[in-house]
Structure formats: structure tokens, C-alpha cells
Amino acid sequence: MTSASRRRVCFQLQVKPERLAEYRDRHAAVWPEMLRALKDTGWHNYSLFVRDDGLLIGYFETDSLDAAREGMAATDVNARWQAEMGEFFVDLESSPDEGFLELTEVFHLEDQLDSLDAGTSGPAPSQAPAS
């Protein structure tokens, strides 16, 4: 599957504000074994973004979210990482990689441009009245 056909996944979590500095430090030096496991199990173009109040937004691309999650669940390094990272989050009832709130994509520039190029545009934009 090419990167153009991968599913884009965006998610939200809430980091405890008092733990934010340590959370950032931990992600500045993720364990090499964890980095390799993410890549090997289908987590591509993975990024995390965080606000100063702890709002965390994650983004990655994958051929299959279920397969990516199952692949990581089968690794020892993920169990260790999730156990350590779980304490950083507010109101999390499961591990961070299972408990995130997935967001719904409402716009993707390349998809709409591809539709235009293929001649299958979506709804017409509103037009200003002619003068």
C-alpha cells in the first residue's frame, strides 16, 4: 500500500500539566527498540503535538489501525512503554495507545485536489453574487 492510500489517524489525549516537562523529555529520547517496533508494525509518519495545557494531538498513517495496534500489543517493549507512559495522562482507563480519542478527518487538501484533477469535485463552493 502506498503512502497515498494509507489511512490517516489523528487522536487526542490529555497530559497532566504538572507532568508535561517530563513527558516532553521522555519523547525527546524514545527507546530505540520502541521506535523500531512502531515502524515495523505499521505506524508511519507518526507525530505528537502538545499545547502548554497538556492537550496532546497525535497523527500517524497506517495500512490498518487494527493491525498496527495488534502488532504493537504483541511486543514486549510496548507493554513496558505503555506502563510507564500511562501515568502521564488524565482520566485514562486503558493504555495510551488503546485509550486515545480518535478524531474524524473533515478535510484533506491532497484528496480534494486529486478529485479536482480527476474531474469529480465535491460540492461546489459558494459563489459571491454577480455585480
Q: Whole-angstrom Cα distance, residue 15 to residue 86?
A: 10
Q: Tell me, what amino acid is at 35?
A: L
**CA neighbor of 59 nearest in space, from 43, 48, 74:** 48
Q: Grid coordinates 521506535 are at which residue?
A: 35
Q: Active-site positions?
A: 27
The dihedral formed by the CA atoms of 89, 93, 94 and 100, expressed in degrees to the nearest 10: -60
Q: Tell me, what amino acid is at 102?
A: E
